[in-house]
Amino acid sequence: MRPPKISHATGLLVIGLSVGTLASFASAADAATETVVYSFQNNGKDGLLPEANLIDVNGTLYGTTDAGGTGRCDNGCGTIFSVNVATGAETVLDSFSGVQRMAPHPGALVAAKGKLFGTTQEGGHRDAGMIYSFNPKSDAFKQRYYYCNLYDCSDGEAPNPDLLYSKSTLYGTTYNGGKIGSGTVFSFDVKTGTETVLYSFCGQQNCTDGALPVGGLLRVKGILYGTTIVYGSGTYCPSNNYLCGTVFSLDPATGAETVIYSFCDQQACTDGAEPRGNLLYSKQVLYGTTFYGGTYNLGTVFSIDLSTGTETVLHSFGGRHDGIYPVGGLIHVNAKLYGITVNGGRAGGGTVYSINPKTGAERVVYSFCSQAGCADGGFPQAGLLDVNGTLYGVTSEGGSGTCKTPYGGCGTVFSIIP
């Protein structure tokens, strides 16, 4: 089972609204100017609907699209692409296709030793996802590992985006599979091709250790940190259908997992619920986002003091003109945190926002769908990338392409100078 797809229709601000109606909300300017670096085109070759984080390699952006390309799938099987930030030129480097390479929902890439590594949540020999490598110099694509290779998918199933690379080893999570079927933390030796399950979730009674990880991993002083979107020991989990979630740590050397915090420990889940984005570390504090929970049940930005285990909600989304439903995690730029919401803002198409981690003060930096026809892009579902003070990201819809998405466009690569 693939992780639940984030839909812009989740947000109440966009349900039943036309593009013209959305644009009419942009009555006041936000704090920054957004530039569309590239709009994906529905021409039978280009990628469509980007939903994964970008990476920067020597001034070139690399990413993947959820659809498009020349693969024989409905609307294409997805692509690997590059964008020259200086010229805006986009190149489709590879199109996913074929039984073994069919790869809907490819995730973010990671660069390692001249190659790009990534995951797909479907495809592979058993249609349970895979790890692959791509050499941008030779255009060589190679499937490195396919999931459900072991009995009962004990090696994991549906690997999540955002692999972590360290010393010839990739670390990641799978949404399903493992001993209990509730997801895993795994390592993959790039040299030998060996995959090892470091931990299987729901390994504790009543799944107090969490289940169904969605985001990637963070490595701090040899310890891995991540999140799960359900279970944990939160006091009010039963009243929220167990959609609570955890922040956990894992020692890759021993496989020992520790729950640092269980969400929905406060009534009505005002402390947050269902953390999806990647974590950020700074000075003994973890920062992250939850998709639900908070004052308005529209998501939060939170911090956790690792020395005490204390969780603090820095911001609850849902105020006037605010974004709602944060996705993609956070980045740290010039002493502020920056992130994305998939909905909300002045025009309803999502936002780029900043948070002062000391005061919790939030600022909407940009609201998407602020231009007619969402020409500036709309409904971003991936996080941001900082390249020398300029923020880059993707929107899953909008732009000048002619896709039949609910609000038009095939998606964009955008830049913002905050």
Write out the two tokens for 120: 């797909």
| pLDDT (tens digit per residue) in 35-74 | 999 999 999 999 999 999 999 999 999 999 999 999 888 8
Give the pLDDT confidence score for residue 291 in this predicted structure.
97
- Give a yes or no: residue 388 inside a domain: yes
DSSP 141-160: EEEEEESS-SGGGTT-EEE-
What is the pLDDT of the chain when averaged over all its residues? 90
pLDDT confidence band for 24 (50 / 70 / 90): very low
Q: Please determine, for residue 10, whether its predicted confidence score (pLDDT) is greater than 70.
A: no
Q: What is the bridge-based pairing of β-strands 256-262 and 390-395?
A: unpaired
Give the pLDDT confidence score for residue 125 in this predicted structure.
82
Domains contained in the chain, number: 1
Give the percent of the chain with pLDDT over 70. 91
- Give a yes or no: residue 3 inside a domain: no
- Give a yes or no: residue 10 inside a domain: no
Domain that holds residue 395: 17-416
Single-letter code of the amino acid located at 381: Q
Segment 375-397 mean pLDDT:
96
Residue 187 pairs with which residues in a beta bridge? 171, 196
Give the pLDDT confidence score for residue 99 in this predicted structure.
56
Q: Which helix (H) or strand (E) holds 88?
A: none
| pLDDT (tens digit per residue) in 290-316 | 999 999 999 999 999 999 999 999 999
Query: In this structure, are residues 132 and 143 in contact, taking their beta carbons and an 8 Å threshold?
Result: yes
For the question of whether the overall pTM of this predicted structure is more than 0.75, the answer is yes
Q: CATH code at 34?
A: 2.120.10.60
Residues 6+ apart with CB under 8 A from 72: 97, 98
- Give a yes or no: residue 116 inside a domain: yes
- Give a yes or no: residue 39 inside a domain: yes
